[in-house]
């Protein structure tokens, strides 16, 4: 079945360094991808999205890269801060009302 | 601006008891509405989604049900809870091909 999964369950990064969180998807029909941040006890919060006609999109301190050839996307966080500590999810949408989420990566920022 | 409300925030229920979780959205019309469940330390599992009043699509066979009595109201129910129904329940709204926006969830513990 279709899936959107993450390569690493936990990522530890030194404060100030850049973070890269990866995600692979299996459904070639997925044409829209979203990254979410979830803090403990809260709902996922939208960070950034990208459509399949793009390969890169930048936001404030975040960049999403999409490689459709290998069905891979990544979230890059520049100058990681303690407030970035959370679980990050990718999600894919293929036009059937359904958003398929990956299993999540926990980002730990070390002081 | 659009807001989503989900309640209660936490709930402890005995096995065999009924369940009713409510979600309402403000500031938008005819949203797509979703119920997800998240087990501890895991990803988001799509339970139900609705694209209009009275329309419910079920993704996972289980003893839960959903209803959409009004355009911006989405209810998750069970007649008899099981231990395995424990989890973090998230309501979300969105428009097709745009980010989902999540509520802050309900932590359900079935004892």
SS (H, E, C) chain B: CCEEEEECCEEEECCCCCEEEEEEEECCCCCEEEEEEECCCCCEEEEEEEEECCEEEECCCCCEEEEEEECCEEEEEECCCCHHHCEEEEEEEECCCCCCEECCCEEEEEC
More confident residue, A1 or A90: A90
Across the interface, of B43, B99, B105, the residue whose CB is closest to A43 is B105
Q: pLDDT by residue (tens digit) across B3-20?
A: 999 999 999 999 999 999
Q: How far apart are CA A36 and CA A33, in angstroms?
A: 10
A101, A2 contact by CB (below 8 A): no
pLDDT at A2 over 50: no
What are the angstrom distances between the C-alpha of B17 and each of A74, B29, B58?
A: 43, 34, 22
Asked if A1 has any chain B CB less than 8 Å from its own CB, the reply is no
Nearest CA in chain A to B45: A101
Chain A nearest C-alpha distance from B68 (Å): 16
Average pLDDT, chain A: 90
Asked if B57 has any chain A CB less than 8 Å from its own CB, the reply is yes
Provide the pLDDT for residue A4: 57
Mean pLDDT value across residues A28-32? 87
A88, A37 contact by CB (below 8 A): yes
SS3 A84: helix
pLDDT at A6 over 80: no
Chain B nearest C-alpha distance from A79 (Å): 25
CB-CB under 8 Å, A49 with B96: no
């Amino acid at each position: 079945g279709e899936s959107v999964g993450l390569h690493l369950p936990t990522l530890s990064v030194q404060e100030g360094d850049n973070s890269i969180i990866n995600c692979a998807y299996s459904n070639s029909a997925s044409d829209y991808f979203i990254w979410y941040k979830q803090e403990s006890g809260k709902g996922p919060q939208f960070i950034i999205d990208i459509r399949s006609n793009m390969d890169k999109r930048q936001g404030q301190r975040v960049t999403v890269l999409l490689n459709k050839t290998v069905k891979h996307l990544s979230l890059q966080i520049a100058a990681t801060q303690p407030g970035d500590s959370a679980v990050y999810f990718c999600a894919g949408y293929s036009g059937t009302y359904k958003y398929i989420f990956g299993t999540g990566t926990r980002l730990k920022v070390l002081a | 601006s659009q807001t989503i409300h989900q309640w209660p925030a936490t709930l402890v229920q005995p096995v065999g008891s009924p369940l009713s979780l409510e979600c309402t959205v403000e500031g938008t019309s005819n949203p797509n509405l979703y119920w997800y469940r998240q087990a501890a330390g895991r990803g988001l599992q799509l339970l139900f989604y609705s694209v209009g009043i009275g329309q419910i699509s079920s993704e996972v066979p289980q003893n839960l049900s959903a209803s959409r009595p009004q355009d911006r109201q989405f209810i998750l129910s069970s007649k008899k809870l099981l231990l395995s129904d424990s989890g973090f329940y998230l309501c979300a709204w969105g428009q097709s091909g745009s980010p989902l926006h999540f509520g802050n969830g309900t932590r359900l513990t079935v004892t």
